[in-house]
Structure 1
Amino acid sequence: MKLSRGKDRPLPTTVWYPTGGDGPFPVIVFSHGLTGQPSDYASLLSRWARAGFVVAGAAYPHTSSGVADFNVLDVINQPADASYVLTKVLALNTKDGDPLEHRLDTAHVAAAGHSGGGITTIGMLSGNRDDRLTAAVVLAGRQVLPTPFAGPKTPVLFVHGKLDRTVQYADGLAAFDAVPWPKAMLTLPQGGHVTTGDADLSLVATATTDFWRWSLYGDAAAKKRLADTKNLDDQL
Structure 2
Amino acid sequence: MTGRRLVAVLTTALLAGCGSAVATTGPVPAGVRTAPERPYAVGVRQFTVDPDGPRPLPVTVWYPVDPSTFPGPVTALSWPPRPVGTPGARSSGPDRPAGPPSPGAEAGPSVRARAAVAAGRFPVVVFSHGLRSLPALHAQLTTRWAAAGFVVAAPTYPRTNLRARAFTRDDVRNQPADARRLIRHLVRLGARPGDPLGAHLAVDRFAAVGHSAGGHTTLGMFVSGRPSPLRAGIVIAGGRPVAGPARPWAPMLFVHGAADRIVPESIGRAAYARCLGPAAFLSLPGQGHGEYLNPGRPGFTEVLATTTDFLRWTLYADRTALRRLPTDATAPGVTTFTSRALPT
Superposed pair shares fold, TM > 0.5? yes
Separation in 1 of the partners of 2:133 and 2:171? 14
CA contact (8 A) 1:121 1:136 kept: yes
Q: Per-residue CA shift, 1:33-88, capped at 9, x if unaligned?
A: 00000001111001111111111001100000011110000000000000111111
- Deviation string 1:103-130 (CA, Å, 9 cap, x unpaired) is 2211111111000000001100116945
Match of 2:264 in 1: 168
Cα pair distance change 1:200/1:5, threshold 3 Å: farther
Q: Work out which of the residue numbers 41, 52, 58 in structure 2 matches 1:12.
A: 58
Structure-to-structure mapping, 1:41-52, within 5 angstroms: 41-52=138-149
2:298 corresponds to: 199
Q: Does the aligned pair in 2 maintain the 1:27–1:54 contact within 8 Å?
A: yes
Partner of 1:189: 285
Q: Tell me how far 1:215 sits from its aligned partner.
A: 0.7
Structure 1 gap ranges (5+) = none
Partner of 1:233: 338
Give the Cα separation in 2 of the matches to 1:99 and 1:186.
Answer: 37
Deviation at 1:9, TM superposition (A): 1.1
Partner of 1:126: 223
Structure 1 window deviating more from structure 2 (212-221 vs 14-23): it is 14-23
Scaled by the length of structure 2, the TM-score of the pair is 0.65
Higher Rg:
2
Runs of 4+ in 1 over 6 A off after TM superposition: none
Would the aligned equivalents of 2:280 and 2:337 in 1 still touch at CA under 8 Å? yes
1:113 to 198, 202, 210: 210
Q: Which of 55, 61, 64 is matched with 2:161 structurally?
A: 64
Paired with 1:36 and 1:146, the residues of 2 have a C-alpha distance of 21
Higher relative contact order (CA 8 A, sep 6+): 2
Q: Cα 1:17–1:187, aligned 2, differ >3 Å: closer, same or farther?
A: same
Give the gaps of 5 or more residues in structure 2.
1-46, 67-117, 331-335
Percent identity of paired positions between Structure 1 and Structure 2: 43
Once the two structures are TM-superposed, the CA of residue 6 in structure 1 deviates from its matched residue by 6.3
Equivalent AA in structure 2 for residue 203 of structure 1: E
State the aligned residue count: 235
For 1:216 and 1:13, locate their aligned partners in 2 and report how far apart those are by CA, in whole Å: 21
| TM norm structure 1 | 0.93
